[in-house]
Structure 1
């Protein structure tokens, strides 16, 4: 959005406001603001399935992760190492993982809280924001929470749902749940936080170590050594590879070309043989 519509002021901020919205109502409001700024940008976004970029329409749980393009992260990591031979590139990646696992294993061992530092900071922020909220119980599991400026929220602790949708989408107790915990005189909200944010799970991820390969002279060689030759590759163009053979995303449909002459799909103007009727057909042919 920044590069495509850089002439429009604040377009990137409005896009992220729509993408990060938890409620569909907030998403539609942000999309309306984008339409007022740039109708072309709105048409571009509406042509993309909302499930692929908007949190409010995502069918699963994102755990507050909005970007999943790991290829860009890998390219940034191996920017210089990609120029090396394949074996040296693999050794670079292995040694990098070895360093990461060692560093983060020490970080997890030093953590004394029930939740990870990121989750603890998030919970502390929610508890602080819930200080001025009032709670009215409905049943033993359902509560009505009033904020100073935000709309009323209905929380169901049994289903772990809140009308603000932050509770069920992020799997972390929102400000309304924190207000209920204060209303119940609880010391923490840990039961309302997914176990994936716990320090125990964090430690389990980096419990194993990445071992070095050792000296090549000490490797155990197989009796059946098979020589693998590099694949035969033809001449490749210097431009970016075509995306015609790209694997489609889940729910994405194949786009068919449309003829600008007869407006039928499946062929282009160059091979169109359909007769045209009406005024101007002779000029079109």
Structure 2
């Protein structure tokens, strides 16, 4: 069904929940460190950096790595950022969904129609807040505040990098940047295809520090001003203020009172009979269901520890002569 509605969508695991399952399979180590190292491994942008970190993870925590391979069927494209085939941007957790569950925790206890009214009311409120926030952005700003602030923070670092033009027509540049170890690395930036060999530009969809350095070099030494590049043109359209404002331009109306409904006659004649539902025994589940590939550990009986075969056969005070 998802493939029919979203034909180019790809499945990816929530890194946070997967890390919690992975750390539970590591023994005699700090489990929080295991989860942190796995998250760090999953967020590398290049395959070379990921493989190096993943090899270190496997050697340090073999039992956790074995569980990871079995759960994901040895397919890294479901959790590693550098292997993911779709456009995931910087979203690798299901925190948004968890926030919605928390927001509608009370409304989820209502019947269907009151629950829908509560959801519509909250979404209408959010749309109004975001609409006002987007409209308050100055007209000279082309990018959303998050990207605008990010580019502003790395601008000074970009100005210090050495840039060499490789192909003006292709907007191809070689950028030299030093690593944390002091070594000089060469990064190839293509402003026309909006890509960089560090792959931050490719995945995040806004310029990395190397792409920003190439952009500064292009605009500084560009003699043909008819081919200027605007900074917002290097970013995805989804980061433009214009698109941000269009996303919330429509009003979400609340459902009016039933006496004001204008229901057609043929709809009034319809009789909708609910299906016969078999009510299951036990308490109704209201928490999150496990996702694909996620296994929940078996719960233990906290009231009594598990006993051996002798206790089961002869009881607590049993005696064998």
Q: Same fold (TM over 0.5)?
A: yes
Between the aligned partners of 1:240 and 1:91, the Cα distance in structure 2 is 22
Residue 168 of structure 1 is matched in structure 2 by: 202
Deviation sequence 1:217-237 (CA, Å, 0-9, x none): 111123232232322122425
* Corresponding position: 1:96 with 2:122: yes
Between the aligned partners of 2:83 and 2:20, the Cα distance in structure 1 is 22
* Corresponding position: 1:227 with 2:245: no
5 Å matches for 1:56-95? Answer: 56-68=82-94, 71-95=97-121
**CA 104–77 in structure 1, closer or farther in 2 if over 3 Å, else same:** same
Deviation sequence 1:32-73 (CA, Å, 0-9, x none): 232233111112223312111111001122122212576534
5 Å matches for 1:89-128? Answer: 89-112=115-138, 113-128=141-156
* Corresponding position: 1:39 with 2:62: yes
Structure 1 counterpart SS, 2:193: coil
Structure with more of its chain in helix, by fraction: 2
Between the aligned partners of 1:230 and 1:127, the Cα distance in structure 2 is 61
Residue 236 of structure 1 is matched in structure 2 by: 280
Residue 280 of structure 1 is matched in structure 2 by: none
Between the aligned partners of 1:12 and 1:188, the Cα distance in structure 2 is 41
Q: Is residue 166–residue 174 contact of structure 1 (8 Å, CA) maintained in 2?
A: yes
Between the aligned partners of 2:35 and 2:128, the Cα distance in structure 1 is 38
Deviation sequence 1:249-274 (CA, Å, 0-9, x none): 9xxxxxxxxxxxxxxxxxxxxxxxxx
Q: Is residue 17–residue 27 contact of structure 1 (8 Å, CA) maintained in 2?
A: no
Task: Give the CA deviation at 1:214.
Answer: 1.8
Matched pairs, number: 245
Task: Give the CA deviation at 1:158.
Answer: 2.2
Structure 2 counterpart SS, 1:154: strand
Q: Is residue 132–residue 148 contact of structure 1 (8 Å, CA) maintained in 2?
A: no
If asked which structure has higher relative contact order (CA below 8 Å, sep 6+), I would say: 2
TM-score by length of 2: 0.69
* Corresponding position: 1:26 with 2:49: yes
Task: Give the CA deviation at 1:107.
Answer: 0.2
Q: CA RMSD in A?
A: 2.6
Between the aligned partners of 2:258 and 2:283, the Cα distance in structure 1 is 39
TM-score by length of 1: 0.78
* Corresponding position: 1:132 with 2:160: yes
Residue 11 of structure 2 is matched in structure 1 by: none
Task: Give the CA deviation at 1:77.
Answer: 2.1
Q: Is residue 2–residue 11 contact of structure 1 (8 Å, CA) maintained in 2?
A: no
Between the aligned partners of 1:216 and 1:230, the Cα distance in structure 2 is 21
Residue 266 of structure 1 is matched in structure 2 by: none
**CA 71–82 in structure 1, closer or farther in 2 if over 3 Å, else same:** same
What stretches of structure 1 of length at least 5 have no aligned partner? 250-285
